[in-house]
Structure 1
C-alpha cells in the first residue's frame, strides 16, 4: 500500500479498512454454520461506520445494537428491521418505545426490571414486544476482566432460575412474546471451550422452556471470537467452532444467532500516523507521533498489543515508547518496543486496528477525530471525513452569551 500517496491526499492520522478482507471473514463464518439455520448479527460497537454497515447489509448481515443510536445507524445503512436486535443493560423507556416503533426482530432483556418496563411500554402502545432474555451461565471466559461478561459478578444477563421465571411471566403476558434466548460470556476468546460449556447450559434451559410450551426460535450464542494481535496462527477454527456449538443443540429446532464484531473487522484495519520528532532523556527514547490515545485507546485502556511497523524504514532497532500529544501519561501506543530510528515525517502503521479503534475515539483535548478510508476492489475511498474545530463546537457555540 502506498502510504505516502495516501498521506499526501488525506493527511495523517487516518484509519483504513480492507473491506474485501471483512467480506471474506463474514462469508467464512456464514459457511461454517451452513448445516443449520443461522443468522450473523454484526456487533456495531466494534466499528459502526455507515459505509461498512452498508457493505454488510449487501451480504445479508443482521445487526446487534446496544443503543438506539446503533439501531438508527443500522437502519440508515439499509438494514431491514427484522434483521436488527437491540441489546444492552440500560435501555430507557424512550429507547424501548422507539425500538418497538421500528418493529425490529426482538429486544434482548437483561433484567426483570427491564422486562416489566418493556411490558408497560408495549401496553401503552398496544403492541406485542418480541423479546429474548440474556442468560448468564456463570462460565469463566478466561479473558481480560474488562471484557468478561458471563460470570455472576458481571453486570450482564440474569441467572438461570431468574430467566425461567421471566420467560414464564412473558408467556402469560398479553404484551410480550418470548422468541429468543441469548448468552455472551466475553470478548477476545481464543480458547472456545468456555463457549461450548455455556451453550450446553443454555441449551438445557431451552429444552425446559419448550417443555413448558415456550417456543424459543432463536438461540443466540453472542460474539467473542478472538483475534490474535501478536500471533496470527491462533485464529479460531470456524468449522470446529460451529461443530462445538451444534453438538450441544441436539433435538432443538432453533435458528443460531451469532454476534461477531472484532473477528470480522479487527485485522482489516490499520491506523496510520506520522512521526513528529524523537525525544531522549537519560533512560528513555520517545517517538512522538501525530496520533494519540483519543484516536486509539486500546493500548492505554487494556494494555493491548498492536504490531507497529515503519514501511519505509530499515536499519538497527532500539527500544522506545511510541506516544502522542495528549496531556496524560497513559497516552501511548506501545512501551519498550523495538523500532527503527525515526525522523520527522516518517510513517508509522499500527496494525489490527479495525475494531474498537475509531468507535472508541473521542475529542479529548479538543482534538479532531480522524478520517476513515476503505479499500475495496483495489480502490481506496474516503468513508468519513476528518473533523474540524467547527464540527466540535457547533453544539456549544449557540449557547455563548453576547
Structure 2
C-alpha cells in the first residue's frame, strides 16, 4: 500500500515499509550504489517546470534554469530538452551548458565578477545576454566586445532595495548587497550603456534573493522595475525584455511558498495592469525546479550517547551537504525502512568530518541502529553543486530515476581522483 507523498515531494512516498522515489525502493539503490548517494526524480523536475510553463501559457517567456542550483550535466540536458535556457555565473558553467547540448542563444550571464576571458568566451559562443552588475563592468565589456568586433547584448541588473525576507546570505536585492546597480543610478547607467559602441541594450534585470516564500517582495520589485522601464524608455532607450530573476522557495520544513503557476498568474496580472504584459519576459528559477526532486541517502555508522546530546553519526558530511553548516539550514531526515517497534531518541545527526560544524540535522527524533539508511530530503539544490573534497572525501555518486529506469549520472569519486591533478615535488 502506498502512503501519501511526503510534503513538498510529489514523487517520494512510503510503500509498505520502504521509502520509494517514483516507485523505486531507495534502500535497494543505497545497497547497489553505496552511500552517500544523491538520487533525483526526473518526474519531479519536469513537474516543477510544467508549473511555470502553465503559468506562462500564451505569453512571450524564456525560462532560464539557474544552473548553480544543480549543474550536473544530465540535469542540464534534461532542461535543455524541455526548452529551457540557462542562467550562468561563470565561464565554467557556460562550458557545462555547451557540453550538455544547451543553446548558447538562450544563455544569460549573471554575476558581479565576470573576467575579460569569460566575457570573450561568452561573446564568441553567442550567448543571449549579459546581466551587467556594475558601471565598471559596462566599460570592460564594451572594450572586450570591440576587440572582437562584436556588440554585446546587455541587460542591467537593478538593485531595487526590496527585502526578500530570506536568509541574509541569499538576499540579493537590498542596498547593502553586492549585486546590481542602485535604483537611483539606473537611468544614468542605461544612458551610458546606450552610448557605448560595443554594447546593445536589450533588457532590464532584477533578482532579489533566493528561497522566497511570499508574494509581496515580488510585487514590490516589479513595481520598482516598471517605474524604471518607464523612465528609461522616456529617455529614448528601448527595453526589449523584462527579466525578473528567480528565487521562489520550496518546502524544507513547514514553508508554504506559492505555487509557480499561481505566483506568475498574479504577477502577470500586475504587468497587464501597468501595460507591460505583452513584453518578452525572462525568468531564472533554480531551487524551485530541482530542490525537492532530490534526496541524499546516508548510512548510520554509530550511535553515541552523551550527557547533553545524543549523536547519530552518518557517512554523509558537510562536504556532501553544505547547507546546514553554511546557512544553519533545515533538511528533513527520514528512515528508508522505518522501525515501527523501535524506540525513538533525540539525536543530532552529524557527519565524520573533523569540524564541530559538520551536522546535517539537530534534535531529530529517530528510531535507528547502526547500518540503517536515512534520506536527507530536499537536497536537489545547492548540495551536490556546492560539495567539496574537504578531508579528501570523494564526491558522492548521483543517480537520476525515471520510473523503473535508473541512470548513474555521476560515479562516486575515488580518493585518487581527488588529487589526480596535483604534483609532487621533484
Is 1:85 aligned to 2:108, yes or no? yes
Aligned residue for 2:47, secondary structure, equals: helix
Equivalent residue, structure 2, for 1:333: 360
Conserved? CA contact 2:51–2:259, under 8 Å: no
Conserved? CA contact 1:108–1:134, under 8 Å: yes
In the alignment, the residues of structure 2 paired with residue 308 and residue 269 of structure 1 have an alpha-carbon distance, to the nearest angstrom, of: 13
In the alignment, the residues of structure 2 paired with residue 248 and residue 208 of structure 1 have an alpha-carbon distance, to the nearest angstrom, of: 18
Aligned residue for 2:214, secondary structure, equals: coil
Conserved? CA contact 1:203–1:248, under 8 Å: no
Is 1:266 aligned to 2:288, yes or no? no
In the alignment, the residues of structure 1 paired with residue 297 and residue 222 of structure 2 have an alpha-carbon distance, to the nearest angstrom, of: 39
Give the root-mean-square deviation of aligned CA atoms.
1.3
Equivalent residue, structure 2, for 1:237: 259
How do 1:146-165 residues align onto structure 2 when only pairs under 5 Å count? 146-165=169-188
Conserved? CA contact 1:139–1:194, under 8 Å: yes
State the TM-score, normalizing by the size of structure 1.
0.96
How do 1:165-184 residues align onto structure 2 when only pairs under 5 Å count? 165-184=188-207
In the alignment, the residues of structure 2 paired with residue 362 and residue 238 of structure 1 have an alpha-carbon distance, to the nearest angstrom, of: 31
Conserved? CA contact 2:173–2:207, under 8 Å: yes
**Alpha-carbon deviations, 1:353-402, whole Å to 9, x = none?**
10001001000011110100001133111000010111111110xx3124
Superposition deviation, residue 83 in structure 1? 0.6
State the TM-score, normalizing by the size of structure 2.
0.91
Aligned residue pairs, count = 398
Equivalent residue, structure 2, for 1:375: 401
Match of 2:54 among 31, 41, 53: 31
Superposition deviation, residue 80 in structure 1? 0.9
Equivalent residue, structure 1, for 2:230: 207
Equivalent residue, structure 2, for 1:294: 319
In the alignment, the residues of structure 2 paired with residue 229 and residue 133 of structure 1 have an alpha-carbon distance, to the nearest angstrom, of: 32
Aligned residue for 1:201, secondary structure, equals: helix
In the alignment, the residues of structure 2 paired with residue 237 and residue 313 of structure 1 have an alpha-carbon distance, to the nearest angstrom, of: 31
Q: Runs of 5+ in structure 1 lacking a partner?
A: none
In the alignment, the residues of structure 1 paired with residue 184 and residue 257 of structure 2 have an alpha-carbon distance, to the nearest angstrom, of: 35
Equivalent residue, structure 1, for 2:389: 363
**Alpha-carbon deviations, 1:331-372, whole Å to 9, x = none?**
0011111111x2221101111110001001000011110100
Equivalent residue, structure 1, for 2:304: 279
Is 1:96 aligned to 2:134, yes or no? no
In the alignment, the residues of structure 2 paired with residue 138 and residue 235 of structure 1 have an alpha-carbon distance, to the nearest angstrom, of: 22
**Alpha-carbon deviations, 1:40-82, whole Å to 9, x = none?**
1100010001001101111100100011111111111111111
Equivalent residue, structure 1, for 2:131: 108
Aligned residue for 2:79, secondary structure, equals: helix
Aligned residue for 1:155, secondary structure, equals: coil
- Cα pair distance change 1:7/1:377, threshold 3 Å: closer
Equivalent residue, structure 1, for 2:419: 393
Superposition deviation, residue 118 in structure 1? 0.3
Conserved? CA contact 2:301–2:313, under 8 Å: yes
In the alignment, the residues of structure 1 paired with residue 337 and residue 56 of structure 2 have an alpha-carbon distance, to the nearest angstrom, of: 42
* Residue range with higher mean Cα deviation, 386-395 or 207-216: 207-216
Q: Runs of 5+ in structure 2 lacking a partner?
A: 1-19
Equivalent residue, structure 1, for 2:347: 320
How do 1:18-57 residues align onto structure 2 when only pairs under 5 Å count? 18-57=41-80
Conserved? CA contact 2:325–2:359, under 8 Å: yes
In the alignment, the residues of structure 1 paired with residue 357 and residue 280 of structure 2 have an alpha-carbon distance, to the nearest angstrom, of: 44
In the alignment, the residues of structure 1 paired with residue 211 and residue 150 of structure 2 have an alpha-carbon distance, to the nearest angstrom, of: 38
Conserved? CA contact 2:66–2:86, under 8 Å: yes
Aligned residue for 1:301, secondary structure, equals: helix
Equivalent residue, structure 1, for 2:38: 15
Superposition deviation, residue 7 in structure 1? 2.2
Conserved? CA contact 2:251–2:292, under 8 Å: no
